[in-house]
Chain A
């Protein structure tokens, strides 16, 4: 038990790698064996995160379950892990979605072994970002996550996958260049990459050695701030850095889109919360208006972009831009007025929105995948009136769509309400403008339902070889945990929001 307590985080972090290594030694034609091994082993980090969740003490401030290992002593970087209420929710989201994504991938039949291994590597990459308490380790995991995702899109994607995977890879890496430089600068300046120390040293730093005389410390901080912001803004993605997203999400295999929307986008928002706000409080406050502008643009243009689609998956992809905009709007509000109740409410909303969007976006992408696998088309105009053929699928689709739309009683409403409530007194105009996005959220969700389920039945799918089959048990099992959580958080959000709230009050 003691071992579990002291090594819980590294167990969670590296068990997917261990699982990938096991799969490496399995015979490559035993598809069933590989799939089930991947699924069952991906449940290990999930169970461990549940253990983590229940052993975590929300009343304590600061990081818990800390672990520190020697990694690169010469430059002052160590493998320092730890969780607080903020990272804990993201860890739970990641370890929950990965098994579901793997279960969703049971229909993959090409290069299954490589696929499953990449997925597990991806999980470690994402978890590393959430668990890292060392800036360099953060960056390492940040970049590690890209590689498996690149191959997942590039090898198992649909028609335009080469373009999409390259765009995804180059854009994210290009965005991270500044982050790398700024990270190095901090490491050189203080001789350590340890975040717990940088949080104390860097925001209060008044002078740096070895800087050219024509650069002031505030200029350097401003440049480094924007270097961080751009890296995370690309990932979130904020307008106008979002155009990689529709391509990557649309071309990725279903499970890839689930993880992309469910977790990868959260890495960007998490970067804002973990690094930008604590390291650059002054700059964040100064540039909060600019962030809010970009967030509002993401909300409004994301909604319009989604409404303008004829491709079902692209429509869902754009909805992520719209929803993640609310996360950044909350962050911007908190940056502008940190320490106030309004800021706390906004951040509660932003973090809960990250979790909620993880659930609903993953669910939506999966449902698009379900129908795509059967019809081999994503064009909304090719569907129509499918509800009588697939009533169960239809019900699930409407439910998940409503979560995405932010219907009260489901999870999205709680977080959006909190963001809007928190941002209103601080960023009144931007909040008011973002309502236009909220209005069109309704428009694109209803467009999706209208084109797929409602209207006169498209007879093409009603008979013969094209006859549309109902969602199967495996697929329902993928959706069930998501739907249950969507409903539970919508009705009784306190169980998760309390953990978030305590972390927010302690941190910001």
Chain B
């Protein structure tokens, strides 16, 4: 099969699975997950074939796989959509295919497939557990299967379709289509347990916050389309004249060039999607969704898609230094800001959520300073190790829930790290894989992928003299290592702090296999991007990633020269942070002993409260009171009713004063009355006496005669 045809087909299996499950298979759980996992497997297979073929193409950057068809007629021309796999696309496709497939598989175990139905589970709420009686007549509470199991796989399928569409798109419009479909799935899956008000509200918050970014992005898209006449990446980026014009045309906004303003508008979309400050508030709440969702959508794929979009549009953004500075600032600030909050969170998933925001900030900052390849590299390594961490946390929660069902004490929060401790013995696979993921996140030197990608960003920032960014990111990296070790220590090390933690259990193979696969990538993927001049290791394996992904750009970016400063910095902050985290938290038993539970950090710098006061409440007021009550009901309907009233008054006046008085009384009745009056008054004339009539005739005769005489004779 031609590679282009295969690329067209990649997104289709999951969306077919979605429709099949929704329309036909939703009553059958096994069939549903077979369809879902099977579709993800097919897409994975096609992606791997495409990836391998892409590797074998020389100069893929100049001659990518590309095909397009007419989609929208626009006056005399057509708007085309198509597929494109260039080096960046191929590298992205690789990690997307792996993480999606692994997460599909993991979901089977996570949603307790094969377990009995719950005693009083109902759709829209997490399963509460089922009571079974064993051979000895003992009653046990065991986990029960998710009531909306089929629906979950349908949604995942639709989501996978959106992500694959985004990756294989050759243009910004279909990228946006995939982007928004993922947004919908994110909404549906965060609100998967929609019966919980917290999940429902989190879903809406996620959708609306990202939509703020999306409407700006839409403007960026139409702006770009208006000035270039196309949205195809290659048509724009390979047209030097056009790029030059974009970079030099001034706009009235902030002194930016057209390229800069378009880039900024598109970037705001990313700020929403990748949960960057100031639109970061939705991501932590999104943890209300089932954990596979957090891993896939809110760590590995959808939020990464935001960064991917900026990487895609990098040639455009890099035309305007002002836009690049904004990007770098937002990224670096977010990286540090989110890391400070992560330090004080006790919910195992929320720590990871803030960590995701922080790491995405890293990538954004890298792009802002022009470190194209480093950003892409960190995007991919992060996708692997963060998906791993989320799945690991899901496994932990699952194990803890087992303990909760065992003790029957439902007041114990299975996600609170202070209820855990010592899980390394109960859940060894989860522990070791989580440890690998955590060390990768912290940037543990040499063996983990996270070290190589993070180090490259720091090296790039240092080499190009972006000292402020370098220092900010270094501090953030220190905090990252610190909260990661805090998490590992509180969760897995020491002794169990609750009865539930003592009864936690390792999870089934469908959950642990994805952990193992992802942990392999969390280590090895770093080796494809070892800088050439790195002491000892450099040059042992070629810096494939830099060569491959860098060739996407028209001008192949130079690898930065080696410098010991960033290397020592990243060694120092990673090891120092890990060590400090362990030292501080190895003896902490309860939140009260945790010195870092500062109110300002616990409350996330009060952004939720501030936004509620500044935006949410005013929006309600504007909608309900200002627009509906005052403007529509008050003023506009008021005018209408006033006109109706005035019309009524005029009508009544016409009736009372003209119709009744003038026409009826004066003219109508008046005429009749006059006639009547005259008749009445003339009655005496008609007496019936012949003498009077004779007299009258005689008088008339004389008068007529006199008149005739006057006219005929005298004249």
Contact = CB atoms under 8 A, between A and B. Distances in A.
A414 interface: yes
Nearest to B173: A417
B628 A243 contact: no
B226 A421 contact: yes
Nearest to A399: B22
A243 B637 contact: yes
B652 interface: no
B75 A421 contact: no
A457 B197 CA distance: 10
A309 interface: yes
What 8 pairs between A and B have smallest CB-CB spacing?
Answer: A308-B623, A344-B75, A308-B628, A408-B177, A308-B624, A501-B73, A307-B623, A454-B194
Contacts of B528: none
Given A348-B72, A395-B22, A455-B200, 4 more contacts: A341-B74, A387-B123, A408-B177, A502-B73
Given A243-B640, A407-B181, A455-B194, A414 B72 contact: yes
B215 A439 contact: yes
Given A435-B215, A446-B207, A408 B124 contact: no
Interface in A223-261: 240, 242-243, 246
Given A305-B632, A408-B181, A505 B76 contact: yes
Pick the most buried of B184, B215, B625: most chain A CB atoms within 10 A of its CB: B215
B207 A442 contact: yes
Given A417-B218, A457-B124, A342 B226 contact: yes
A140 interface: no
A301 B630 CA distance: 12
Interface in B156-204: 173, 176-177, 179-181, 184, 187-188, 191, 194-195, 197, 200, 203-204
A194 to B, nearest CB: 29
A281 interface: no
Interface in A354-368: none
A420 B222 contact: yes
B195 A455 contact: yes
B439 to A, nearest CB: 39
A436 B216 CA distance: 10
B208 to A, nearest CB: 6
A425 interface: yes
B74 A348 contact: yes
Nearest to A462: B122
Contacts, number: 155
Range of interface residues on chain A? 35 or more
A432 interface: yes
Contacts of B225: 421
9 contacts: A304-B622, A307-B619, A388-B195, A413-B177, A424-B222, A443-B619, A454-B195, A492-B71, A497-B72
A207 interface: no
Given A388-B124, A395-B22, A420 B218 contact: yes
A305 B73 CA distance: 34
Given A308-B624, A454-B194, A455-B194, A424 B123 contact: no
Nearest to B75: A344
Given A388-B122, A409-B180, A501 B75 contact: yes
A391 B227 CA distance: 46
Interface string B614-633: 00000110111111110110
A498 B79 CA distance: 12
B598 interface: no
A424 B75 contact: no
Nearest to B625: A308
Interface in A288-315: 301, 304-309
A201 B193 CA distance: 65
Contacts of A418: 72, 74
A342 B222 CA distance: 11
A301 B627 contact: yes
A419 to B, nearest CB: 10
A436 B215 CA distance: 8
A171 B643 CA distance: 11
A500 B208 CA distance: 33
Contacts of A391: 123
B212 interface: yes
A243 B194 contact: no
B176 A457 contact: no
B436 to A, nearest CB: 37
A417 B123 contact: no
A221 interface: no
A301 B222 contact: no
Contacts of B623: 304-308, 440
A412 B636 CA distance: 29
A387 B194 contact: yes
Nearest to B201: A450
Contacts of A456: 195, 197
B356 to A, nearest CB: 23
Contacts of B188: 398
Interface string B450-465: 0000000000000000
Contacts of B237: none
B194 A425 contact: no
A409 B184 CA distance: 11
Contact of A409 (B22, B73, B181): B181
A82 B211 CA distance: 43
B70 interface: yes
A167 B640 contact: yes
Contacts of A195: none
Nearest to B151: A391
A345 interface: yes
B181 A385 contact: no
Contacts of B113: none
Contact of A308 (B216, B227, B627): B627
Nearest to B184: A407
A36 B207 CA distance: 44
A229 B70 CA distance: 36
Given A305-B627, A409-B181, A443-B208, A240 B216 contact: no
Nearest to A240: B636
A501 B74 contact: yes
A413 B222 CA distance: 13
Contacts of B173: 417
A391 B23 CA distance: 12
Nearest to B212: A439
A36 B416 CA distance: 62
B335 to A, nearest CB: 27
B628 A305 contact: yes
Contacts of A457: 122, 124, 195
B554 interface: no
Nearest to A241: B636
Interface string A410-447: 00011001101100110000011001101110110010
